[in-house]
Structure formats: structure tokens, C-alpha cells
Amino acid sequence: MSSEMRSSHIIICQNIEERSALLIEGLKPNRCVLFQPEEINFKIEISKAVIAEAYIAEEEVKYLIISARSFTVEAQNALLKILEEPPRNIEIIIVTESKSVLLPTVRSRLQVIMEHHATVHNTVEIDLLKFSLGELFRFVKAHERLAKDEAKGLIEAIYYRATAIDGLSLNEKQIERFDRSYRLIHANARPQPVLTSLLMTFLKPKNVR
């Protein structure tokens, strides 16, 4: 029998891609189904796929591994029922970098395992609650020469700042802009226009003039 935990739980760790791969290897010969979006956000469409997979009958234990850096509120709420009462022989493991990206209602349903290399997000020095056009241009100028991985990390840090520090409830346009920005950087787009487009969504109308 594998030494991996045989029950639904949450793993907080640094490298979610590597940890998920190790998890799948450690759970063999049990079947594992990985749900790992390419975007920054785990959306409700993927939650629906998780739920559909959960209700496919299994004779042996099947593990559904949800691996993402952040989750929309709708996606998390959609999962609550199967987290509370998973179908027979279904175990669910959530792998992410910070427990703060998960709703309290999700965290309360599963054991949280904090691994010692959990990521500490770099805080970005911008106040998105009082964001101005001048601050936008200064911020983008200061980060115009970023490597691809640095730019992706900055987008993640801005998302963390907005949701976990400034406590903003992102609208659909902002969530989609984060996802699109992450994909563009992944496709080798220049960081400066991508960051400008992303941060424009945080400007109040009076600050755009």
C-alpha cells in the first residue's frame, strides 16, 4: 500500500505541478484523474467536469486531483456537495499554493496539510483599492523587463494582492483578464502591454481620464 494519505484532503505546497505528478505516482495502482487548468483560475466549467467524473461508478478507489493556483468562488461552491458527501470510492485531493485562495466552506470540509515549502507570495507594492493611472504607468514601467516566468509570477502576485490582501471581489471581466494575461505571457507576449491591459480593469472611471 502507498504511503500517500488515503482520504480526501488539501495539500498546500510550493510547486503544484510537481507535487501533483508525485501524488499520482504515489497513489498507484489506484486510478487518478488530474484536473489542472492552463489558466491561473480554476473555473466552474472544470468543477462540472470534476463532478461528472465523481459520479462515474468505480469498483476501486479513484482519486480526483484538483491542482490550481486560484479558484473562482462559483467553482468552489459547485464542489461543496461532493466534498461533503463524495460518491462511493471517490477521494478528492486539492493541491494549491496558499489556503487563502480557498473559501472557508471548502477548507472546513477537508483536512489541510501544510507542507514545509509552501509558497509565500511576493506582495506587490500597489494598492488596488486606490489605484490611479499614474500608479499604473509607474508600476508597468518598473516591470517592463521581465523574463517569462517572472511575468507569470507577477500576475499571480497581483491576483493574490487583489483577492487575499485588498479583499476585492473580482468581477467576470477581471477574472477573464487574469486568465487571458497568464495565457498571453505563456505564449511569449511582451509583459508591458499585458500588464497594462490587466491593471486597467482596476481603474475607477474618474481615474481613467
Ranges of each domain in the chain: 9-114, 128-208
- Rounded distance between C-alpha atoms, residue 74 and residue 79, angstroms: 9
The confidence score (pLDDT) of residue 130 equals: 86
Q: What is the pLDDT along the chain (209 residues), one digit of tens a residue?
A: 333 444 789 999 888 999 999 999 988 899 999 999 988 789 999 999 999 999 998 889 999 999 998 898 899 999 999 999 999 999 999 999 888 788 888 988 998 888 755 455 566 888 888 889 999 999 999 888 888 888 888 888 888 788 777 878 777 788 888 888 888 887 889 999 999 999 999 997 654 44
Q: CB burial class (10 A; 0-12, 13-18, 19+) of residue 154?
A: buried
Secondary structure (DSSP) of 17-50:
HHHHHHHHHHTTTSEEEEE--SSSEE-HHHHHHH
Q: What letter would DSSP give residue 99?
A: G
For 9-114, which CATH superfamily applies? P-loop containing nucleotide triphosphate hydrolases (3.40.50.300)
Distance between CA 160 and CA 165 in Å, rounded? 7
Helices (H), the chain: 16-26, 44-54, 73-84, 104-107, 133-142, 148-160, 172-186, 191-200, 205-208
Question: Beta partners for 114?
Answer: 12
